[in-house]
């Protein structure tokens, strides 16, 4: 049975979960929903609906104006337990590419083959020769079918040998191996894995430390998946992007990269009701309601809502990711108001009581 753990705390110092180091970190500031213009009752409605309709929720954190106003974990998940991100990892790999570009180590219009002279096929096709870093970022590398690399001894060689029937930049095909190639390129030009490259530039400034990131047989961060973070780490990443790359007065990510990465770079469908048909950026999905997100298999989300100045982090294990997002739009989107709401201790107590009841009975 699902059980629920809810915490709302003041700014505190905690011990980092990493098995490699013990480091103190600063948590995000906390506030109450009404103080940040959000209704406690509507947050409660979201939690109840998500608990009943999503099989199964693992965690939820809501930020408004940079402050945590609601947070919850379904046992055995907890605040200090890293969670697999699956393809939400891709947005972190994109960030590494953006930083490498800013440092002059590569250009997004560089040709992919330039980085792998020893791994290229003997007679590369014209489409393969035309493939750019930009095409990897936008999932328009030119493949019709995604490479199945599980039995391949060398992932980059297998990618470059895979047929490229479409002109790069013209055909959207969600492509996890393409993200792996971005990771491999970053490692080529920096001499570090994406995880190690991001550690002093992103993870440490955000108070995340050095997380686990699975690697390929060649020792390269998988890039397209394999990263493990806590819910609050996901929320921090979303808040950093919401703040256009700035954190505590420091520009961690170039604002121009944030703009490019989260804007619609390519079309990926025409269904107005699907959050997977709103356009794709640089390893970020555009969403309905003016939002954008990183997301991963089974319902891992980092949702950024610029118009509402809000971030939503969710981890889960569900087969219906659209239904999970629909609950966000139906229950949380109407809860945001432009001004602080009157203090409502009764509704705050109801929210607390609802969570305590779930903890006791589910």
Q: Which residues contact 345 (CB under 8 A, 6 or more apart)?
A: none
Give residue 359's pLDDT: 57
What is the reported pTM? 0.93
Conformation bin of residue 351: beta by default, left when phi > 0, alpha when psi is -120 to 50: alpha
Per-residue model confidence (pLDDT) at position 354: 77
pLDDT at 210: 86
Enter the tokens of residue 52: 């009943």
For residue 33, the model assigns a pLDDT of 97
Residue 109 near residue 132, CB atoms below 8 Å: yes
* DSSP notation for 80-97: TS-EE-GGGHHHHHHHHH
Nearest to 222 by CA among 282, 189, 186, 179: 179
Show pLDDT as tens, one digit a residue, over the chain (362 residues): 444 443 333 333 333 334 333 334 589 999 999 999 999 999 999 999 999 999 999 999 999 999 999 999 988 888 999 999 999 999 999 999 999 999 999 999 999 999 999 999 999 999 999 999 999 999 999 999 999 988 899 999 999 999 999 999 999 999 999 999 999 999 999 999 999 999 999 999 999 988 999 999 999 999 999 999 999 999 999 999 999 999 999 999 999 999 999 999 999 999 999 999 999 999 999 999 999 999 999 999 999 999 999 999 999 999 999 999 999 999 999 999 999 999 999 999 999 887 777 553 44
Please state, in angstroms and rounded to a whole number, the distance separating the CA atoms of residues 256 and 285: 17
CB 217 within 8 A of CB 154: yes
Beta strands (DSSP E) in the chain are 3-6, 13-15, 24-26, 57-64, 67-75, 83-84, 228-229, 246-247, 250-251, 285-286, 292-296, 300-305, 310-316
Say what the pLDDT of residue 4 is: 41
Q: Which residues pair with 26 in a beta bridge?
A: 13
Backbone angle region of 271, left / alpha / beta, with phi > 0 → left and psi within -120 to 50 → alpha: beta
Contacts of 12 (CB under 8 A, 6+ apart): 27
- Nearest of 156, 91, 69 to residue 351 by alpha carbon: 69
pLDDT at site 11:
31
What is the pLDDT, as a whole number, of residue 75?
A: 82
Residue 358 has a pLDDT of 54
Return the CATH class of domain 3-81+230-361: alpha beta
State the sign of the Cα–Cα–Cα–Cα dihedral 222, 223, 225, 229. positive
What pLDDT shows up at residue 25? 54
Q: What residues pair up with 221 in beta bridges, in sequence order?
A: 215
Q: What is the pLDDT of residue 3?
A: 43
Residue 8 has a pLDDT of 35
């Amino acid at each position: 049975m699902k059980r629920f753990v809810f915490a709302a705390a003041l700014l505190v110092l905690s011990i980092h979960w990493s098995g490699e180091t013990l480091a103190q970190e600063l948590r995000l500031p906390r506030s109450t929903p009404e103080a940040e213009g959000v209704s406690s009752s509507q947050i409660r409605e979201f939690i109840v609906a998500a608990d009943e309709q999503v099989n199964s929720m693992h965690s939820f954190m809501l930020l408004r104006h940079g402050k945590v106003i609601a947070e919850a974990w379904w046992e055995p998940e907890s605040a200090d337990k890293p969670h697999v991100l699956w393809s939400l990892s891709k947005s972190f790999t994109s960030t590494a590419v953006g930083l490498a570009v800013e440092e002059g180590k590569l250009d997004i219009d560089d040709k992919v083959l330039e980085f792998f002279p020893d791994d290229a096929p003997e007679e590369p096709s014209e489409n393969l020769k035309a493939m750019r870093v930009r095409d990897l970022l936008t999932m328009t590398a030119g493949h019709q079918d995604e490479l199945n690399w599980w039995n391949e001894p060398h992932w980059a060689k297998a990618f470059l040998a895979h047929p490229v029937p479409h002109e790069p930049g013209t055909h959207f095909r969600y492509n996890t191996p393409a993200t792996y190639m971005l990771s491999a390129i970053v490692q080529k030009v920096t001499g570090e894995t994406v995880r190690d490259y991001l550690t002093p530039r992103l993870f440490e400034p955000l108070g995340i430390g050095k997380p686990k990131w699975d690697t390929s047989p060649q020792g390269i961060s998988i890039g397209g998946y394999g990263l493990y973070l806590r819910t609050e780490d996901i929320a921090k990443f979303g808040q950093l992007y919401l703040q256009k790359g700035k954190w505590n007065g420091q520009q961690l990510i170039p604002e121009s990269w944030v703009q490019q990465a989260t804007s619609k770079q390519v079309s990926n469908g025409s269904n107005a009701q699907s959050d997977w048909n709103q356009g794709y950026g640089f390893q970020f999905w555009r969403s309905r309601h003016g939002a954008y997100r990183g997301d991963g298999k089974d319902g891992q989300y980092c949702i950024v809502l610029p118009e509402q100045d809000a971030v939503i982090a969710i981890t889960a294990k569900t087969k219906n990711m659209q239904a999970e997002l629909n609950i966000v739009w139906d229950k949380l989107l109407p809860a945001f108001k432009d001004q602080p709401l009157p203090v409502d201790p009764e509704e705050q107590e109801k929210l607390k009581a609802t969570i305590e009841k779930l903890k006791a009975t589910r």
